[in-house]
Structure 1
C-alpha cells in the first residue's frame, strides 16, 4: 500500500528529509534527493519574515522541479500572520505546506512559536485550522511528544489536528525540554499509530541513524514512514542504505572516498549555483567535516577546505583528497 498525503503518492514506506535550519537548503536537498529521499522540506520559514518580505525568508521559498514532492515549512506565533504566510508560500506552488510545532530552540519556542504551542493546544488547533483554510494544498504538521515529561499530550494533538484537516503528522520522539539530548522514545508514536481514530499517515522522527535501526523500528513501532534529519548531514547515502537494507536485508557498501568527494563537489557546485560564488563557498564550509567524518588525519585538509575561497581552489583540494586517501585505502 502506497502512503498518500492528499494526492501525493509516496510509495510503500517513505523516507523523508527533515527540515533543518541552515542545513536543508536546495543544494543539500539535491544530494539527498539523488540518494533516495522520497520527500523533502524547506528549512523552516518565519511567518513574520514572509509577511515583511524579508530577503532571507523569501529566499527559503526557492524550490526546484527536481525536488518534488517538496513541502514548505512555516512557523509563527500569530494565527493571522500564519494564515497570510500560508497564502504567500502557496503561491510558489510547493506540493504541501508543513507547520512547525516542534522546534525547541529558544528564539523560536520562547517567542510562542514552534514547540511552544504544545503548551496551548487550543491555540495550536485554531492556528492549524487557519492554515488549512488558507491553502488549496495538503497541510501537514511536525511536532514533539509534548513540552516536558509531565505534558506528553501528542496523542490528543494528533486527534484534534486530524479533525481540522491535516493530512499527515510527523512526531519527533522527544519533548521540548529534552531538546536533542537523551534518546528518542517512539512508544507514544506507536500508540498514536494504533489509535483506530487516526486515519492520516504517521511518520516517526528522532535517532534514525542506521539501516538496522530503521528496519527494527519500522517493525516495532508500525509507523507509515520515517523522517531523517541529523544522520543525513554530510551523509546523504543514509537514504539509499536504508532502502537497500529494507529490500534485500543486506548492507550496501559504504561510499568510497571518491564518492564522498564527488557528492561533496556536487553539493558545492549547487551551493554556488544557488547563492553565487562568495556565499556559496562560505556556506559550504559547515559541511566538509561531516562529509569526511571518520577519516584519519583529515584535519589538515579540513583547514584547507574551510579557508579556500574559490571553487577552483576547493576542487583542487578535493582532487588531492581523492588521490591520497583512495591510494591509502586500496
Structure 2
C-alpha cells in the first residue's frame, strides 16, 4: 500500500475518530502494528487554530511517519489554507473529511453532507490538491441515503482532481453507524478507479478483515471502533493476513501494562485535569467484558486525580483471577459480506 511517496508497512490504517485518535492513541496503534493512523479532524476555520484543542490536534511530536492529518470544512479556499497550515505543522498527508455523519458537522454542510453537492466536492478537492505539495486523500461514505449512493461518481471526481487514495465507509450518511456496513459499493469503486481504495466499516476481527479485502479487492482496510481498547487488533490482523493463523489474544497482564502506559501518555499530553477525564472512556474500553468491570468503571468515573486512577487500575487488574491468562476473542462475525 502506497500513498504518494509513502510506502506503508502493511494494509492496516487507523480511522480518524473525533475525541479518540489523538497523538497518544495514534502512536500506540502504530506500535501495535498499524501502518498508518489518521488524526482526528482539524477545523478549516482559522479562528480556531489558536485554541488548545486545535493545537493539540496539530501536535505530531515524536510521531512515527507517515503523519496523516484530516481537515474538515465546506469552503474550498478555507480548506486549502487549512491544508497549508497543517503541512507547516508537520503533516505529510492531508485527508479531507467527507464521511462524518455527525449532525453538528453536516449542519454546516461539511463532512458527509458534502456528498449532496458534487460540483462543490470537485472544487474542494481541486483547491486542496493544488494548495500543497504532499499527497491528499479523501474519506467518504457510499452516499447520503440509500436512494442516493454516489460513491462511484465521487470516486471518479477524486481520481480526476489528483486525490491519491480514497477511503470509503460502507454506510450512507443517513445510516450513521446503524445496521451493517455493505461492501458491494466499495468493490464497485475499486473496479472503476486506479487510485488506492481503502475499505472501512465493521471490520473487527482478523477473519472479517481478510474477507473484506478479498471481496472488495481494496488496497487496504481502515479500522475505527474495533481498536478502542483493543490496539493489538492491528498485530492480530497483520499476522492472520500473512500466515492464515491467529495470534493468541493478549494476556490480561499485558492489557494492564498497555493501559497503564496509555494513561501516562494521556496525562502527559493533556495535563492532569483533562487527561483524567479523557482517560475514563479508554479505561472503560480496555476493561469491557472483564470480571467486575461494570462496578470498576462506575468507580472510575468518580475519581478526580491521575494518582487515584492509576492506583485503582492496578488494584483491579492484580485482583483478577485470570491475570496471567489470555483475553477471550470477540466472537467472529458470521454475517456474509455483501
Corresponding residue for 1:207? 202
Contact 1:31 1:266 in 2 (8 A): no
Report the Cα offset of residue 127 of structure 1.
0.6
My pick for the range that moved more, 244-253 or 34-43, is 244-253
Report the Cα offset of residue 324 of structure 1.
1.1
Contact 1:51 1:84 in 2 (8 A): no
Corresponding residue for 2:95? 98
Report the Cα offset of residue 220 of structure 1.
1.4
Q: Name segments (4+ residues, structure 1) moved above 6 Å.
A: none
What CA distance in whole angstroms lies between the structure 1 residues aligned with 2:114 and 2:200? 19
What CA distance in whole angstroms lies between the structure 1 residues aligned with 2:228 and 2:55? 24
Q: 1:165 to 1:297 in 2, by over 3 A?
A: same
User: In the TM superposition, what are the counterparts of 1:36-115 in structure 2 within 5 Å?
Assistant: 36-49=33-46, 53-115=50-112
Contact 1:129 1:164 in 2 (8 A): yes
Counterpart secondary structure, 1:325? coil
Corresponding residue for 2:234? 239
What CA distance in whole angstroms lies between the structure 2 residues aligned with 1:88 and 1:182? 37
Report the Cα offset of residue 50 of structure 1.
5.7
Counterpart secondary structure, 2:83? helix
Contact 1:29 1:67 in 2 (8 A): no
Q: Give the count of matched residue pairs.
A: 325
Residue segments in structure 2 that go unaligned for 5+ positions in a row: 326-338
Contact 1:30 1:267 in 2 (8 A): no
Report the Cα offset of residue 173 of structure 1.
0.5
Corresponding residue for 1:134? 131
Report the Cα offset of residue 98 of structure 1.
0.3
Corresponding residue for 2:23? 26
Which whole-Å deviations, capped at 9, do the CAs of 1:210-230 have from their partners, x for residues lacking one? 011111111111100000000
Q: 1:29 to 1:328 in 2, by over 3 A?
A: closer
What CA distance in whole angstroms lies between the structure 2 residues aligned with 1:59 and 1:188? 35
Counterpart secondary structure, 2:174? coil
Q: Match for 1:320 among 285, 290, 315?
A: 315
What CA distance in whole angstroms lies between the structure 1 residues aligned with 2:83 and 2:99? 18
Report the Cα offset of residue 295 of structure 1.
1.1
Report the Cα offset of residue 267 of structure 1.
1.0
Contact 2:145 2:174 in 1 (8 A): yes
Over the aligned positions, Cα root-mean-square deviation in angstroms equals 1.5
Residue segments in structure 1 that go unaligned for 5+ positions in a row: none
What CA distance in whole angstroms lies between the structure 2 residues aligned with 1:318 and 1:18? 27
What CA distance in whole angstroms lies between the structure 2 residues aligned with 1:123 and 1:295? 48
Q: Match for 1:122 among 97, 119, 123?
A: 119
Q: 1:157 to 1:328 in 2, by over 3 A?
A: closer
What CA distance in whole angstroms lies between the structure 1 residues aligned with 2:162 and 2:41? 21
What CA distance in whole angstroms lies between the structure 2 residues aligned with 1:182 and 1:167? 30
What CA distance in whole angstroms lies between the structure 2 residues aligned with 1:53 and 1:310? 27
Residue 222 of structure 1 pairs with residue 198 of structure 2: no
What CA distance in whole angstroms lies between the structure 1 residues aligned with 2:255 and 2:323? 15
- Normalised by the length of structure 1, the TM-score is 0.94
Counterpart secondary structure, 2:63? helix
Q: Match for 2:14 among 17, 39, 51?
A: 17
What CA distance in whole angstroms lies between the structure 1 residues aligned with 2:120 and 2:140? 14
